[in-house]
Chain A
Amino acid sequence: MTNQQKIVYFLYLHRTGLTVAGLSIALLIFPLLEDNPYTIGSTNLIAINAIVVLGLNLFIGYAGQISLGHAAFFGLGAYGSAIATVTFGIPPWPAMVLVACGVALVALILGIPILRLSGHYLAMATLGLNFVVHSVLLQWDEVTGGPSGFSGIPSLSFGSFEFDDEIRLHYLLWGITLMCLLLCLNLVRSGVGRGLAALAGDETAAAALGVNTRNAKIKIFVLSAALASLAGSLFAHTYSFVSPDSFGIFTSADMVIMVVVGGMGSIWGSLFGAALMTMMPEWMDLFETYKDFVHGGILVLVLMFLPQGLVTGLIEIAKTRWALRRQKDAAA
């Protein structure tokens, strides 16, 4: 091998690690280059959304299922942390863990019956779940504050170091997001992850390869719910205020759009989808006013032309081109 080939091979072999390292460095220096707190606030929201989308993408893109109700788990996490810290006075960090475990348990209990369903039926069931949670948040005034929301949630802190401005939050939120990203990358690059990829491809074939399809679906559902809950807790502590509007079915739909636009079955795509859909309203006023139309339009276009999503779809096209060219070269 020539030196150049060696370098290319090294880059290819360590592509995941190198990308993570590159992203970490970029995130470390970002606040030094960007001093507008408003922009950093928006990118912080990307981090929170990305955590939900990572979990949801495992469920949709890897386990091959569908959920139109993940905002419910997001909301349960947010309200759970709000109620635990304000009403019961539990410190934020243990509260966050406790709430995530609670939401995971709820997802397990719900997942066992509803994951017997598939396709449209599963979509309807998860949508129903979102409606129920949303109504409870809206109607149970004494506990949730009802339509006017829940305020006065404390910010997160380590000792006396409070995460109360955008730059501090940037490092905290992106640190947690990167950790989740790493865990998810590890998962999909393992035997368990390949079992999931098989499950998304064909359930009968996956079972014939020894994948416990029913358990795998439930486990991923629980994992994605726990991640959504974690993101919800971070959301509550970041904005110190939550209201039921943030956790309706349109939020769930937005999450699915982030998965689809980024790329089903792609961990990196999740990050891209979350970033693109979160930043879009910031970039163009048009998106702000006609958000739902634009989101719907993007979804339709992506599904028509790149059903695997932007990132995954483009990577697949590149891989196919490459393989076909190799084939031609071999034939020539």
Chain B
Amino acid sequence: MLQLENVSKNFGGLPALSDVSFDVPRGKLTALIGPNGAGKSTMINCMTGVLEPSSGKIVFQQQLISKLPAYKISRLGISRTFQNLKIFPRLTVLENILTGLSTEGGDSMVMAMLRLPYLRHQERQLKLRAMAALDRFGLTDKANWPAGVLAYGDKKRVELARATVGNPQLILLDEPVAGLNAEETATVAEQLRLLRSTGHTMLLVEHDMDLVMEIADQVVVLDSGKCIATGTPDEVRNNPLVLEAYLGRMDATA
């Protein structure tokens, strides 16, 4: 579904990614792991148009997206969550979810200002979809709360609900369980499994190795901007390169 071919990104001559190639297959959960500074966030930013790759190609469903601006990539059906939460604290939970559908009514400000009957109808449909998303993530009774007062775990769920409400083709998750306790992590894992069972394709960037090994179909390992291994969780776990670069180092410090 998403193919990366020799993607490189330099920041003023410093290579953050060099010649990274891998595929994200449809309907699968791919995990992208690697030690701090490996280039995972840069990778996600290149895929979503926040950064433009210095060279190489990113192809999404036969369409070259590496030079598209972020909003166009989003409209093609790639949604994302952010490592350091980007929900809108002043909006209510329901309004936050609705921002995930803000382009569904079209771009026209004139139409919006006239509020024609078809838009009123559509508005009701969007609210129903947003309420359904809240229900999926167990946030229904907090729909009218300002998102800023929610607990951290709930904020993460709001972001996840917002990223999935528009029925995206591909969901990029940047550390969805960072900072959550074991119980909350289990809930998120459950929700990710549920999303996969409904046919969603996901790319998960994560530090939590237990979670990755448990739910990923495919694991891609980055180290110092290079892709050093790709395979099933078991293959990666036993790959000597990975052990040396990542797990080995963790063992040494443990």
Residues of A within 8 A of B126 (CB): 191
A183–B114 alpha-carbon span in the complex (Å): 6
Given contacts A194-B102, A208-B86, 15 further A-B contacts (CB under 8 A): A187-B112, A190-B112, A190-B119, A191-B102, A192-B108, A197-B95, A198-B88, A204-B82, A207-B69, A209-B103, A211-B71, A308-B90, A319-B146, A327-B149, A330-B141
Residues of A within 8 A of B50 (CB): 204, 207-208
23 CB < 8 A contacts A-B: A187-B112, A190-B113, A190-B115, A191-B103, A191-B123, A191-B126, A192-B112, A197-B95, A197-B99, A198-B99, A201-B89, A204-B70, A204-B86, A205-B82, A206-B99, A208-B48, A208-B70, A208-B82, A210-B102, A210-B166, A319-B92, A323-B149, A330-B141
Check: B75 CB closer than 8 A to any chain A CB: yes
Known: A197-B91, A202-B86, A208-B70. A187 touches B113 (CB 8 A): yes
A191–B89 alpha-carbon span in the complex (Å): 18
Residues of A within 8 A of B115 (CB): 186, 189-190
Check: B9 CB closer than 8 A to any chain A CB: no
Count residues of chain B with CB under 8 A from any CB of chain A: 47
Which residues from chain B sit less than 8 Å from chain A, CB to CB? Answer: 48-50, 69-71, 74-75, 79-80, 82, 86-92, 95, 98-109, 112-115, 119, 123, 126, 141-142, 144-146, 148-149, 162, 166
Check: A77 CB closer than 8 A to any chain B CB: no
Q: How many A-B residue pairs have CB under 8 A?
A: 125
Q: Contact between A323 and B95 (Cβ–Cβ < 8 Å)?
A: no
Q: Contact between A223 and B109 (Cβ–Cβ < 8 Å)?
A: yes
Residues of B within 8 A of A223 (CB): 109
Known: A191-B105, A201-B88, A208-B74. A183 touches B113 (CB 8 A): yes
Q: Contact between B109 and A201 (Cβ–Cβ < 8 Å)?
A: no
A208–B170 alpha-carbon span in the complex (Å): 13
Residues of B within 8 A of A168 (CB): none
Residues of A within 8 A of B95 (CB): 194, 197
Partner of B113, one of A184, A205, A213, A215: A184
Residues of A within 8 A of B101 (CB): 191, 194
Q: Contact between A265 and B90 (Cβ–Cβ < 8 Å)?
A: yes
Partner of B102, one of A186, A198, A202, A219: A198
Check: A34 CB closer than 8 A to any chain B CB: no
Q: How far is the CB of A101 from chain B (nearest CB, A)?
A: 14
Of the listed residues A197, A201, A209, A219, the one surrounded by the most CB atoms of chain B closer than 10 A to its CB is A209
Which 9 pairs, one residue from A and one from B, show the smallest C-beta to C-beta distance? A191-B105, A190-B112, A207-B70, A195-B102, A205-B86, A201-B88, A210-B74, A186-B115, A323-B145
Q: How far is the CB of A15 from chain B (nearest CB, A)?
A: 13
A205–B141 alpha-carbon span in the complex (Å): 25
Partner of B162, one of A204, A207, A209: A209
Q: Contact between B112 and A186 (Cβ–Cβ < 8 Å)?
A: yes
Check: A326 CB closer than 8 A to any chain B CB: yes
A212–B106 alpha-carbon span in the complex (Å): 11
User: Who on chain B is nearest to A265 by CB?
Assistant: B90
Q: Contact between A187 and B109 (Cβ–Cβ < 8 Å)?
A: yes
Of the listed residues B82, B95, B126, B145, the one surrounded by the most CB atoms of chain A closer than 10 A to its CB is B145
Q: How far is the CB of B85 from chain A (nearest CB, A)?
A: 9
Of the listed residues A189, A212, A223, the one surrounded by the most CB atoms of chain B closer than 10 A to its CB is A212
A211–B145 alpha-carbon span in the complex (Å): 24
Known: A191-B105, A197-B88, A316-B90. A207 touches B112 (CB 8 A): no
Check: A136 CB closer than 8 A to any chain B CB: no
A186–B89 alpha-carbon span in the complex (Å): 22
A319–B142 alpha-carbon span in the complex (Å): 12
